[in-house]
Chains A and B, each alone.
Chain A
Amino acid sequence: MTEHAHTDCEKMLGFLSEYIDGGLNPELCQEIEKHLAGCENCRVVLNTTKRTIDLVHAPVEKPDLPEDVRARLFKRLNLDDYLKPK
């Protein structure tokens, strides 16, 4: 572990999400970047959290609605007339 106060890591962690989403004010960003420069653990947490979110966004598996589910839905909503293939 590095020698800086552990509370800095916890503070950093509290802002991690907003830092990644880009919603923080510049002063706070600067403070966080200063901490990151000196704290490897927090850098790892930042990198791997970013990567985790990237993976969720990756357009690998976004299955469309199964055709039979769609057909039953349209029937239930009395939309049979509009049940042509998309």
Chain B
Amino acid sequence: MNKTMPTEISLEALVAGDRAEFARLVDAYSSPIYRLGLRMLGDPQDAEDVLQNTFLSVLTHISEFEGRSSLATWLYRIAANEALMLLRRKKPEVNLDDVEAADEAEDLLPTQFVDWSALPEDELLSGEGQRILDGAIATLPESMRLVFLLRDVEGLSIRETAEALNLTETNVKTRLLRARLFLRERLSTYYGGHMSHEE
């Protein structure tokens, strides 16, 4: 997890109310938390609300942090909750606990079998390619998207993702697999067409 934790944050100092240390914590985690909010809500103002509410909640609850998970996992847990609360308020129609749907294997089955994996990096990461990827992530069902963002974008482990989202590791694995296959299918549709176009 050191990827997002550039310097060690002192929990003792935080609990003691050390404001400089709290400022360091905010700077260490505000970018990933803002990104998470942006990807979950799709709106900068909402992402900013998630960000502010997360750290306000951290301030209130830091003394209750028991250290059973890492500080980072705990932060992501709060941020994910804030994002979900806002999502429920903004889009009450969204089903966030579609575990049953997530366990149905049928729509797992790939339909695109063009191997675009050898396309050059600069083509895949072009503005257009990035737009396709971002668009595909944005259309992931919310319950899968959150798992995918924590695991594959922010780099938490399966266990940390499960802790942050209050899911079982099996649930996390199932949703992650589905998310990855969903994105693969979207990219394959795009690059498959792309490749046959160039022939």
Contacts and interface: CB of A to CB of B under 8 A. Distances in A.
B98 interface: no
B20 interface: yes
Contacts of A47: 115, 117
A5 interface: no
Interface residues of A, number: 42
The main secondary structure of chain A at its interface with chain B is: helix
Judged by DSSP, the binding face of B is: helix
A64 to B, nearest CB: 5
B22 interface: yes
A70 B23 CA distance: 11
A24 to B, nearest CB: 11
B28 to A, nearest CB: 10
B92 to A, nearest CB: 27
A10 B125 CA distance: 30
Contacts, number: 115
Interface in A61-86: 61-65, 69-70, 72-74, 76-79, 81-82, 86
Contact of B177 (A14, A62, A73, A82): A14
Interface in B77-116: 105, 108-110, 113-116
Interface residues of B, number: 45
A54 to B, nearest CB: 9
A55 B45 CA distance: 27
A10 B19 contact: no
Nearest to A57: B152
Contact of B108 (A13, A60, A62, A69): A13
Nearest to B38: A63
A14 B105 contact: yes
Given A65-B34, A82-B19, A73 B55 contact: yes
A49 B113 CA distance: 11
Interface in B136-162: 137, 152-153, 158
A17 B116 CA distance: 19
Interface of A: 10, 13-14, 16-18, 21, 23, 40-41, 43-45, 47-53, 55-58, 60-65, 69-70, 72-74, 76-79, 81-82, 86
6 contacts: A13-B109, A43-B115, A44-B117, A45-B113, A61-B130, A86-B27
- What are the nearest 3 A-B pairs in CB distance? A82-B23, A47-B117, A51-B117
